Amino acid sequence: MLFGTLGFVLAASLAQQPTPVFGTPERVQAGALLAGIGRRYPSPVMQDVDGDGLADLVLGDLYGAVTVSKRLAGEGPPRFGPEEPLLASDGTELVFNNW
């Protein structure tokens, strides 16, 4: 479960049971910074954007900026690289207008 307002918190699901069980919430970092810090109304979603089988952190915000923090391979809790702009297939940065 991913939630938060000033930065994000990830609480991993520990069991597939009728009653959900979650681990201790941990702040989500994108590289050395808290994910979404300094952005207006960041909206997170987990999606494998690079096809490596690991869910990456995608953040959109009020101004239409969309960034990706790629999940780093390894054991333990998920770790993510720094936020990078989401790019179109031609390599240009994707920016969506607010309204």
Q: What is the pLDDT of residue 6?
A: 52
Helix (H, G, I), strand (E, B) or coil at 40: coil
CA–CA dist 37, 58 (Å, integer): 14
Interval 1-60: pLDDT, tens: 566 555 556 666 666 667 777 777 778 889 999 888 888 888 888 999 999 999 999 999
Inter-residue contact 71 to 57 (CB < 8 Å): yes
CA–CA dist 27, 7 (Å, integer): 7
Q: What is the pTM of this model?
A: 0.78
CA angle (24 as vertex; 62, 69 as ends), nearest 5 = 40
Q: What is the pLDDT of residue 53?
A: 93
